[in-house]
Amino acid sequence: MTKHYGTGELLTHAYMSSEDAELSRHVAECDACGRRLAAVRSELERHAANEMSPEKSETFWKRQELAVMRAIETRNRRALGIPTQIAAAAAVVFVVTAFLAGRGSVSSAPDMTTSPTATVASVETNATAVATQENGLTTRQITTDPWQSEQLEDFQNVVDWESWVEADEKKRGTI
């Protein structure tokens, strides 16, 4: 009696795109197994198709796009807002230091733009400014993490990522 293949073996064959020559030859010659392999494949496709997400409307896609762009805009505003205060503090520190050193020259605060490159740079400026401030003046310290503030709660994932970058940079000793 010819050995037929079980559904499990046919299932593995269907998923793994296996090159089992014996199985391939058998299913090509055996009607029962060939029929069952076709049924397994077709059932896998049917199951996958039935479990797909329902078709979404154009409104859904537009809303999603707007949500992404709004999150980016909010993030950029935050990058411009919070670090601007720090950058202003850094500028003050620089002016005071320059004045005390008798140089008397004045430098403007770092330019802040909203491009992703500038955003990364502004975060680094932020960290540097805090370090300078701590080293130069002991009167004012920033002890809270702005990423963890209530206002930024909705952007927890981004905050997590930023924290990860910071931790990584700390490891490399750049912060």
**Which lies closer to other proteins via its Cβ, residue 35 or residue 170?**
35
Minimum CB separation of residue 68 from other proteins in Å reads 4
Torsion angle of alpha carbons 164, 169, 170, 172, nearest 10°? 130
50 residue type, one letter: N
Applying CB under 5 A, which of residues 11, 14, 30, 158 lies at the interface with Zn ion? Answer: 30
159 binds other proteins (CB under 8 A): no
Total of chain residues touching other proteins, rule CB under 8 A: 49
In Å, the largest CA–CA distance within the chain is 102
Distance CA 38, CA 127 (A): 61
Instruction: Please return the burial class of 42, using the count of CB atoms within 10 Å of its CB with bins 0-12, 13-18 and 19+.
Output: exposed
Applying CB under 8 A, which of residues 28, 32, 106, 167 lies at the interface with other proteins? Answer: 32
- Which residues contribute to the site for other proteins (CB under 8 A)? 1, 4, 6-8, 11-12, 15-17, 32-33, 35-36, 39-40, 42-48, 51-54, 56, 61, 64-65, 67-69, 71-73, 75, 113-120, 157-158, 161
